[in-house]
C-alpha cells in the first residue's frame, strides 16, 4: 500500500511538506485566500523566520514562499535541517534553552518571526539585546488552549481565567507572557495564538484509520472527552496571514474552529469516509476509536468549549474548515491508495 506524499513543488497557494508515509503522491490544495490575487509577490523586504519548523511551520513556510517571501527557520536535529534545506529553506539548528547568539543575529535581520516551540523563552536579556537593533517588526507565539485547564465544559474566550494543570501548559503560559513582554520592550507587534488540536494532511483521524495503528493511551483517554477544540493547519496559516495584515500589540487569539465536537465523533466520520472511498482497505472491526477506547474517566479534566469570536471580529478570519467535517472531507479527497 502507498500513502500520498505531497510534492515539493506546487503551484502558488498550495501547501507542501515532506510526509513520511506510504501513501501515493498527491496534491493538497489549501486556498488560504480564496478572493486574493496570489500572483502578486510580497515586498522584497518581507522576511520570515520560523522558530520550530514542524508540522505548522512547514505548511506556513510553503505558503509564504509561494507568495515571494524569503523564509528561514530552525529545527533541533541535523536530519530535520537537511530535509528543510532540500525543500529550499535556510535552516538552522537551535536550542531554545540555550540560544546561540549567532542564530539570534540571523533572526534579527528578518522582519517577521513565528515561534512554534513549546518551551518558555530563556535568556530573555540576551535575546532582547540582540534583537533590539534589528529589522523585526512582528512576532506571533503559537501557544495552546491547554492554558485554560479544566473549565467544566464552559465556553471560554481569551478573557477567561487561565488555569494550566500540567507542566507543559504552565510552560506555554509562561512563554506567552515572556514573548509578549519581549515584543513590548522591542516596540513591535506581538501576538499570541492559542491553538486547538492541530490536524491536516498526514495528521488526522483519517490518516490514523488508514494506517490502522494502535492508539496511544493518551489518545484513547481523550476519546472520552465531551468537547475537543481543534483547528485545520490551513486555517492556522490564514490566521497568521491575517495577523500580518492587521498587526497589533499584546493581543491573544483563540485559533479554533466552530465545532468542539468530541474526538469519538470525529473518528466515526473518519471511519465512514475511509470505508466509502476505500471499502476493501480496512480489516474487519479495526476502528481504533471503538476497539481500544478506555472507560471514561470520572474527571472532566481539560473539558472546555473554546470561542473564536475575537479571531473573526478583529482579524476578519473566515474559516476554510469551520468544522472537522469539511476538514476531513478535504483531506480524504487528496488521498489515493495503490496496492
**Residue 222: per-residue pLDDT:** 58
Of the pLDDT bands very low, low, confident and very high (cuts 50, 70, 90), residue 257 is very high
Burial of 75 (C-beta count, 10 Å sphere; 0-12/13-18/19+): buried
Q: What is the DSSP letter of 24?
A: P
Domain hosting residue 190, numbered range: 47-333
Q: Residues 264-275: what's their mean pLDDT?
A: 94
Contact 302, 165 (CB under 8 A): yes
pLDDT tens digits along 318-337 = 999 999 999 999 999 999 87
pLDDT reading at 182 higher than 60: yes
What does the buried/exposed string (b/e) look like for 246-266 if buried means 16 or more CB atoms within 10 Å of the residue's CB?
A: ebeeebbbbbbbebbbbbbbb
The answer to whether residue 25 sits within a structural domain is: no
> Please, what is the average pLDDT of the chain?
83
Percent of the chain whose pLDDT exceeds 90: 65
Over the stretch 203-228, which tens digit does the pLDDT of each residue have?
999 999 998 866 666 556 556 567 89
pLDDT at site 100: 87
Asked if the structure places residue 18 within a domain, the reply is no
Q: What is the pLDDT of residue 142?
A: 98
pLDDT of residue 121: 72
d(CA 249, CA 241): 16
Relative to beta strand 138-144, strand 189-195 is parallel
Q: Is residue 26 part of a domain?
A: no
Element (H, E) at 253: strand 251-255
Q: What's the burial of 43, exposed, middle or buried (CB within 10 Å: 0-12/13-18/19+)?
A: exposed
Measured distance between the N- and C-terminal CA atoms of the chain, rounded to whole angstroms: 5
* CA-angle at 241, arms to 335 and 33, nearest 5°: 55
CA angle 227, 259, 147 (to 5 degrees): 55
Per-residue pLDDT, 31: 46
Which of 282, 265, 284 lies closest to 324, judged by CA?
Answer: 265
Look up the pTM and report it: 0.83
Flag whether 32 is in a domain: no
The residues with which 75 forms a beta bridge, in sequence order, are: 93
Per-residue pLDDT tens over the stretch 290-302: 444 444 444 445 6
| In a domain? residue 320 | yes
User: Residue 203's closest CA among 10, 17, 2?
Assistant: 17
Q: If you write DSSP's letter for every residue of 213-229 in order, what string do you get? A: PPPPHHHHHHTT-S---
Within-domain flag for 108? yes
Residue 9 lies in a domain: no
Q: What is the CA radius of gyration of the chain?
A: 20
| Number of domains into which the chain is organized | 1
Contact 71, 48 (CB under 8 A): yes
**CATH number of the CATH domain containing 56:** 3.40.50.720
Sheet containing 112-115: which strands, arranged edge to edge? 90-93, 70-75, 47-51, 112-115, 138-144, 189-195, 251-255
Question: How long, in residues, is the chain?
Answer: 339
Q: Is residue 20 part of a domain?
A: no
Q: What is the mean pLDDT of the segment spanning 26-45?
A: 45
**Do 66 and 10 form a contact (C-beta atoms < 8 A)?**
yes
Angle at 199 between CA 197 and CA 201, to 5 degrees: 175
Segment (H or E) for 93: strand 90-93
pLDDT in tens, 126-158: 899 999 989 999 999 999 999 999 888 899 999
Amino acid at each position: 500500500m502507498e500513502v500520498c506524499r505531497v510534492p515539493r513543488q506546487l503551484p502558488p497557494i498550495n501547501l507542501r511538506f515532506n510526509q513520511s508515509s506510504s501513501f501515493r503522491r498527491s496534491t493538497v490544495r489549501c486556498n488560504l485566500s480564496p478572493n486574493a490575487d496570489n500572483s502578486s509577490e510580497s515586498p522584497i523586504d518581507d522576511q520570515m523566520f520560523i522558530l520550530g519548523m514542524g508540522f505548522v511551520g512547514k505548511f506556513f513556510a510553503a505558503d509564504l514562499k509561494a507568495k515571494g517571501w524569503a523564509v528561514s527557520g530552525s529545527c533541533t536535529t541535523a536530519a530535520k535541517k537537511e530535509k528543510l534545506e532540500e525543500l529550499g529553506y535556510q535552516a538552522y539548528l537551535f536550542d531554545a534553552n540555550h540560544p546561540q547568539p549567532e542564530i539570534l543575529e540571523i533572526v534579527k535581520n528578518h522582519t517577521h518571526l513565528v515561534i512554534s516551540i513549546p518551551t518558555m523563552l530563556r535568556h530573555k536579556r540576551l535575546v532582547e539585546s540582540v534583537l533590539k537593533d534589528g529589522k523585526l517588526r512582528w512576532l506571533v507565539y503559537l501557544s495552546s488552549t491547554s492554558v485554560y485547564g479544566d473549565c467544566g465544559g464552559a465556553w471560554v474566550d481569551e478573557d477567561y481565567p487561565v488555569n494550566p494543570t500540567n507542566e507543559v501548559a504552565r510552560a506555554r503560559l509562561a512563554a506567552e507572557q515572556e514573548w509578549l513582554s519581549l515584543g513590548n520592550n522591542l516596540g513591535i507587534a506581538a501576538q499570541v495564538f492559542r491553538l486547538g488540536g492541530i490536524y491536516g494532511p498526514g495528521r488526522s483521524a483519517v490518516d490514523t484509520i488508514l494506517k490502522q495503528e494502535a492508539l496511544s493511551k493518551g489518545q484513547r483517554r481523550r476519546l472520552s472527552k465531551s468537547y475537543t477544540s481543534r483547528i485545520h493547519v490551513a486555517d492556522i496559516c490564514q490566521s497568521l496571514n491575517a495577523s500580518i495584515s492587521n498587526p497589533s500589540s499584546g493581543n491573544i487569539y483563540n485559533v479554533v474552529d466552530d465545532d468542539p465536537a468530541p474526538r469519538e465523533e470525529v473518528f466515526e466520520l473518519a471511519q465512514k469516509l475511509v470505508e466509502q472511498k476505500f471499502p476493501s482497505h480496512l480489516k474487519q472491526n479495526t476502528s481504533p476509536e471503538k476497539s481500544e477506547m478506555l472507560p471514561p474517566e470520572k474527571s472532566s479534566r481539560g473539558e472546555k468549549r473554546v470561542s473564536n469570536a475575537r479571531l473573526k471580529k478583529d482579524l476578519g478570519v473566515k474559516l476554510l474548515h469551520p468544522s472537522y467535517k469539511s476538514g476531513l472531507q478535504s483531506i480524504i479527497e487528496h488521498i489515493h491508495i495503490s496496492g
